[in-house]
Structure 1
Amino acid sequence: MKENRLLAKWLNDDLSPDELAEFEASPDFEKYQKIKNYTSHLQVDDLDENAMLSNILSQKKATPKVVPLYKKWMFRAAAIFVLAIGITLVMKFFVPQTQTADFGEKTTFSLPDHSEVVLNSGSEINYKKWNWDNNRHLELKGEAYFRVAKGRRFEVQTNLGKVTVLGTQFNVKARKNRFDVVCYEGRVKVNYANTQILLTHGQSVRFENGKQVKMNVNSLKPEWIDNQICFTKENIRTLLDEVERQYNVKIELNSKDTISLFTGKLPAKDLDTALQIISTTYHLEAKKVSENKIIFDEK
């Protein structure tokens, strides 16, 4: 410890004569002397603290850009929104559109060219919006009334036949083995099996079991639109089928007379009156066994 103290004082030329003599007598003095002589010519520049700080700051790495978590969520939500819009447009224009009228209901809607359609109870229409103005084609199950806007050919396809028009008003019914078309305005071309018929204002045609019946009509539109069910020489089973659709009920018939034909009208919004007319015409008795079930028995 004493030797280290003497070394420090010797390097600073701060030894007294006695201390200097003692230090020079030490065994390590010669080594210390050589080191002192070797380093005496070395010089150290003054430290420029400001320059050093500037250099450190200039070499500082750029702070990485951090995207907050909520912004990542917003980007993801925007992408999902754009995708949803795309899917919606595809569904809207490319996927077939369906309009239905359940039993006991009627549905009115417009097609892309503003043609108007009224669907009768228990009916369905399918069509595509894509390229509609150049391909006005739809498929019908059941019965519908059309007010067609003028334009290219307009086609109504059913499982029994096809109706083609340019711009007119007409009614189409395709149920079971029965195909009816009525023209209320303009001209209508009807294709059934290998038969083609042209109807004009006030004409109608019926195909049933391969038989054709052409008739004239006096009304300006289908009676069912005004909640009147019109029949011309219809059998009772056809009559009851229509009542079931209009009122969303089930009817059981226990009668031997299923041949007599009915011509007339039934109300589509007054079930009791409709049942009374049928009972009187066919000498039957109507019983409501539940809210949605009716049984006709012979008197």
Structure 2
Amino acid sequence: MKKDRLLAKWLNNDLSPDELAVFEASPDFEKYQKIKDYTAHLEVGDFDKNAMLLNILSQKKEAPKVIPLHKKWIFRAAAIFILALGITFAMKFFVTQTQTADFGEKTTFSLPDNSEVVLNSGSEINYKKWNWDNNRHLELKGEAYFKVAKGKKFEVQTSLGKVTVLGTQFNVKARKNRFDVVCYEGRVKVNYADIQILLTHGQSVSFENGKQVKTTVTSSKPEWIDNQISFYIENIRSLLDEVERQYNITIELNAKNTTSLFTGKLPAKDLNTALQIISTTYHLKIRQVSKNKIIFDEK
């Protein structure tokens, strides 16, 4: 039986138990159910029954037009289909779009203007397609590398600050109380609290706990793109948090004398080597209690 006939029979409560089971298992059933529930609450206003009766009796009687039942089904199914298309269009262009990269993963995607974005592990981006050419604005949670297509102003908003650019390549990282921006091409304007800084090719800026910290650029693109985790004057908890994201594991730290700041790189595809570097740097013992849990103890 064709899908539109099933839809029409369902709208008129004429489906057999077997047909109903097949229809409810279809991928579009939830959408049809929502539309049916919505239209069921539509009401018309009150009217004067006596006036309507007199009006009908005063008119010339004509033979009633009979519309076959199957045509009613088709008309109603067509109306539902058109409404569903409208809802689908609205969902696609007006509702916020979300792109994510889970722990242990990276995600690459293109924005409506063909700007390229690479999301690092444990990150999320939200944006709207509607009117994108005139309002290129998105919200970032975590870290991402952008290759922005030339055009009008492009904005990246995070919980810690905002980056405004025009046709450039840059990296933005907002993790807890740490905010890092690196410009690899073109220019970017960084807003953090009441501070505004203009970065050009090869420049970077970082803020931690509300204060600007010294940073440096050592490559032509983010190291994490090539599976290297780079740190510059960061504490051990930042190291462990990033290793947890990259390898999708949990790390517990049972040590007190770990206040030294770390500058260097850790591999993002070799967990044993990454753990050995951390243990050697901070004089810790590695204890693996399960496949996805590591504990660092004092020696």
What range is the shorter-chain TM-score in?
Answer: 0.7 to 0.9
Matched residue SS, 1:287: strand
Task: Quote how far apart the aligned CAs of 1:261 are.
Answer: 1.7
Task: Quote how far apart the aligned CAs of 1:63 are.
Answer: 8.7
Task: Structure 2: give runs of 5+ residues left out of the alignment.
Answer: 1-61
Aligned to 1:4: none
What RMSD over aligned residues (CA atoms) do the two structures have, in Å? 1.7
Aligned to 1:201: 201
Deviates more, 1:180-189 or 1:271-280: 271-280
Aligned to 1:137: 137
CA distance in structure 1 between the aligned counterparts of 2:260 and 2:140, rounded to whole angstroms: 30
Matched residue SS, 2:215: strand
Task: Quote how far apart the aligned CAs of 1:213 are.
Answer: 2.7
CA distance in structure 1 between the aligned counterparts of 2:203 and 2:122, rounded to whole angstroms: 25
Aligned to 2:114: 114
Task: Quote how far apart the aligned CAs of 1:291 are.
Answer: 1.9
1:226 aligns with 2:226: yes
- Which amino acid letter does the alignment assign opposite residue 127 of structure 2? Y
Are the counterparts in 2 of residues 285 and 297 from structure 1 also a CA contact under 8 Å? yes
Deviates more, 1:205-214 or 1:221-230: 205-214
Task: Quote how far apart the aligned CAs of 1:294 are.
Answer: 0.9
CA distance in structure 1 between the aligned counterparts of 2:260 and 2:218, rounded to whole angstroms: 25
1:210 aligns with 2:207: no
- Which amino acid letter does the alignment assign opposite residue 275 of structure 1? L
CA distance in structure 2 between the aligned counterparts of 1:172 and 1:104, rounded to whole angstroms: 19
Task: Quote how far apart the aligned CAs of 1:71 are.
Answer: 3.1
Aligned to 1:288: 288
Aligned to 2:146: 146
CA distance in structure 2 between the aligned counterparts of 1:80 and 1:268, rounded to whole angstroms: 50
Are the counterparts in 2 of residues 203 and 214 from structure 1 also a CA contact under 8 Å? no
Are the counterparts in 1 of residues 187 and 201 from structure 2 also a CA contact under 8 Å? yes
Task: Quote how far apart the aligned CAs of 1:198 are.
Answer: 0.5
CA distance in structure 2 between the aligned counterparts of 1:133 and 1:159, rounded to whole angstroms: 24
- Which amino acid letter does the alignment assign opposite residue 203 of structure 1? Q
Aligned to 2:31: none
Aligned to 1:8: none
- Which amino acid letter does the alignment assign opposite residue 280 of structure 2? T
Aligned to 2:82: 82
Superposed counterparts of 1:161-180, under 5 Å:
161-180=161-180
CA distance in structure 1 between the aligned counterparts of 2:75 and 2:221, rounded to whole angstroms: 55
CA distance in structure 1 between the aligned counterparts of 2:138 and 2:267, rounded to whole angstroms: 30
TM-score scaled to structure 2, two decimals?
0.76
CA distance in structure 1 between the aligned counterparts of 2:291 and 2:71, rounded to whole angstroms: 59
Offset from partner CA, 1:103-158 (integer Å, 9 cap, x none): 11111111110101111111111111111000111111111110000000001111
Matched residue SS, 2:159: coil
The structure that has the greater radius of gyration is 1
Are the counterparts in 2 of residues 97 and 127 from structure 1 also a CA contact under 8 Å? yes
The count of aligned residue pairs is: 239
Are the counterparts in 2 of residues 189 and 196 from structure 1 also a CA contact under 8 Å? yes
Are the counterparts in 1 of residues 215 and 232 from structure 2 also a CA contact under 8 Å? no
Aligned to 1:240: 240
Superposed counterparts of 1:6-21, under 5 Å:
none
Matched residue SS, 1:202: coil
Deviates more, 1:255-264 or 1:136-145: 255-264
Offset from partner CA, 1:216-263 (integer Å, 9 cap, x none): 313111011111101112211110010111111111001112211222
CA distance in structure 2 between the aligned counterparts of 1:69 and 1:281, rounded to whole angstroms: 80
Task: Quote how far apart the aligned CAs of 1:80 are.
Answer: 1.4
- Which amino acid letter does the alignment assign opposite residue 95 of structure 2? V
CA distance in structure 2 between the aligned counterparts of 1:287 and 1:215, rounded to whole angstroms: 33
Are the counterparts in 2 of residues 168 and 184 from structure 1 also a CA contact under 8 Å? yes
- Which amino acid letter does the alignment assign opposite residue 148 of structure 1? V
Are the counterparts in 1 of residues 258 and 282 from structure 2 also a CA contact under 8 Å? no
Matched residue SS, 2:257: coil
CA distance in structure 1 between the aligned counterparts of 2:290 and 2:77, rounded to whole angstroms: 53
Task: Quote how far apart the aligned CAs of 1:97 are.
Answer: 0.9
Task: Quote how far apart the aligned CAs of 1:77 are.
Answer: 2.0
CA distance in structure 1 between the aligned counterparts of 2:247 and 2:291, rounded to whole angstroms: 11
Task: Structure 1: give runs of 5+ residues left out of the alignment.
Answer: 1-61
